[in-house]
Amino acid sequence: MLSAYFPILVLIVLATGFALGALTLSHVLGPKRPNPAKSEPYECGMRPIGSARQRIPVRFYLIAMLFILFDIEIVFLYPWAIVFDHLGLFGLVEMIVFIAILVVGYVYVWRKGALEWE
C-alpha cells in the first residue's frame, strides 16, 4: 500500500533538492556587486520621496480588489467564447446570467461611490 506513494516521495525529495541546490549555487557563484542604488527601497531609477512605511488609504486596496474582481470575468469569457458553438442556447443563457450578476455588482459599487477617486 505505501509502496504506491514512494514515487511521490522521490519526486518531493528531488524537487526540494533541486530548489535548494539552485539557490545555493546562485548564492555561491553569483556576482556580488553591492552599491547604494541597490540598497534603496525601490530600484526604479527614481529617488524615493518620504518614508517607505507611510500609510496607504484603504480606498486604494478597494479599487485594486474591484479591478481584479471585474477583470477576472475575462478568465470565464474567453473559454466560453472559444466553445460557444458547442454550448448552444444553454451556454448563452448561463453567460447572460453571469454577466447580469457582474452588472448588478458593478452598479452596486458605482452607487456606493467606491469608484470615485478623491
DSSP per residue, 31-75: -----HHHHSS--SSS---S-TT----HHHHHHHHHHHHHHTHHH
Q: What is the dihedral of CA 94, 96, 97, 98, to 10 degrees?
A: 90
pTM of the predicted structure, to 2 decimals = 0.48
Chain-centre distance of CA 49, in angstroms? 27
**Residue 118, domain member (yes or no):** no
pLDDT recorded at residue 24: 96
Q: For 30, left (φ over 0), alpha (ψ -120 to 50), or beta?
A: beta
Quote the number of domains for the chain.
1
**Residue 117, domain member (yes or no):** no
Dihedral of CA 34/36/41/42: which sign? negative
For residue range 39-95, list pLDDT tens digits in order: 666 656 666 677 767 787 777 888 888 888 878 888 888 888 888 888 889 988 998
**Residue 6, domain member (yes or no):** yes
Q: What is the percent of the chain where pLDDT is above 90?
A: 25
pLDDT recorded at residue 47: 67
Residue 36 to residue 47: CA distance in whole angstroms? 12
Which range of residues forms the domain containing residue 39? Answer: 2-112
Distances (CA, A) of 108 to 5, 57, 65, 89, 96: 50, 21, 15, 29, 18
**Residue 12, domain member (yes or no):** yes
**Residue 10, domain member (yes or no):** yes
CATH of the domain at 28: 1.20.58
